[in-house]
Amino acid sequence: MATSTRIAQRYATAIMSIANDNNTTENIRKDFTLIVDSLNASDELRALFNSPVVKYLHKISICKEVFEGKVSTLMIQFLEMLAEKRRESVFPEISAAFTELYNQQNNLVPVQVVSAIELSAELSASLIAAIAEKTGKTVLPEFSVDPAIKGGLIITIADTMIDSSVRHQLNKLMKDLSGKIII
């Protein structure tokens, strides 16, 4: 496990504990999402978070200016503490670790479904119901279309991938046949 991952896990666990104590877990999850989305949308803000040259007091000032009134006081205090400790560049990893903790705590499982064509509402619902039954968790589905898979589905549940796409089956068949053909 990388050092930044361990650091992110520790900070995520700490803020989750505080959020649980204050019954603000859902608000903190939304705050993380807003800030990460802002970092992804703004090259300048991301550069500020990642810059070792910018003084932490300046970073705190800018974070307050950008996020005050949009995120909770706890999140502002968290950002201040990260800046003081020079850990603001790890914020996206902390957010990801917090999301994992939040999902575990709330019995949620993220699921990505890739299909060659858009699935009907009925098929999507039955697929999600089957996954929920298998996992025993509430499914957070994300559907996408990729015509390159030719047919079938690629389902990713947490960190497990089930590739039943036609493209995968054809590649597997080609690999099997190429090793056995003698001319």
Which residue type is seen at 129? Answer: A
Alpha carbons 148 and 151: distance in angstroms, whole number = 8
Q: Which two tokens stand for residue 22?
A: 């204050």
Map tokens 């705050």 to a residue: 31
Q: Rounded to two decimals, what is the model's pTM? A: 0.80
Alpha carbons 101 and 78: distance in angstroms, whole number = 17
Consecutive sets of 10 residues in the chain, 183 residues long: mean pLDDT of each?
80 96 95 94 89 88 91 94 90 95 95 92 94 93 92 88 85 78 50
CA 170 from centroid of its chain's CA atoms: 31
Answer whether 101's CB lies under 8 Å from 32's CB.
Answer: no
Where are the chain's structural domains?
Answer: 3-104, 108-180
pLDDT score of 1: 47
Can you spell out the DSSP letters for 113-161?
Answer: EEESSPPPHHHHHHHHHHHHHHHTSEEEEEEEE-GGG-SSEEEEETTEE
In CATH, what is the architecture of 3-104? Orthogonal Bundle (1.10)
DSSP state of 87: -
pLDDT score of 48: 86
CATH number of 108-180: 3.40.30
Q: Which two tokens stand for residue 152?
A: 């079938």
pLDDT score of 2: 61
Which residue type is seen at 73? Answer: T
Conformation bin of residue 150: beta by default, left when phi > 0, alpha when psi is -120 to 50: left
Answer whether 96's CB lies under 8 Å from 8's CB.
Answer: yes
